[in-house]
Amino acid sequence: MIKIVKAEYIERKVIRLWFSDQSFGDYDLQGLLDKRTELLIPLQDDNYFKQFYLELGALCWKNGLELSPANIHIKLKQQGKLQFDLKAA
């Protein structure tokens, strides 16, 4: 089961994520935020967006939004944005 083990704000709506399988990638959430659902609207504010945290390997915000690490991992892989840390091998 894939988990996010580290997350770091990069710029705008992009967060660099490191996964439990030694992979990492830059996840751009702007496309998701454009949906403007009730849970996503607060993330339009940069200060609120930066208050993400990890809980049980998922990317979360205090309003209850929780993003699945497995789904993020799949999306990054499909977009060709997933990299593997060769130093860890």
DSSP for 19-80, please give it. ETTSEEEEEE-HHHHTT--TTTGGGGSHHHHTT-EEETTEEE-TTS-EE-HHHHHHHHHHTT
Token code pair at residue 16: 């660099």
pLDDT classification of 69: cutoffs 50, 70, 90: very high
| Top-tier CATH class for 4-84 | alpha beta
Token code pair at residue 46: 């940069």
Enter the pTM of the model.
0.91
> What residue ranges do the domains of the chain occupy?
4-84
pLDDT at residue 88 greater than cutoff 80: no
pLDDT at 85: 78
pLDDT at residue 89 greater than cutoff 60: no
Residue 6 CA to residue 8 CA, distance in Å, equals 7
Tell me the β-bridge partners of 28.
Answer: 14
Greater model confidence, 23 or 86? 23
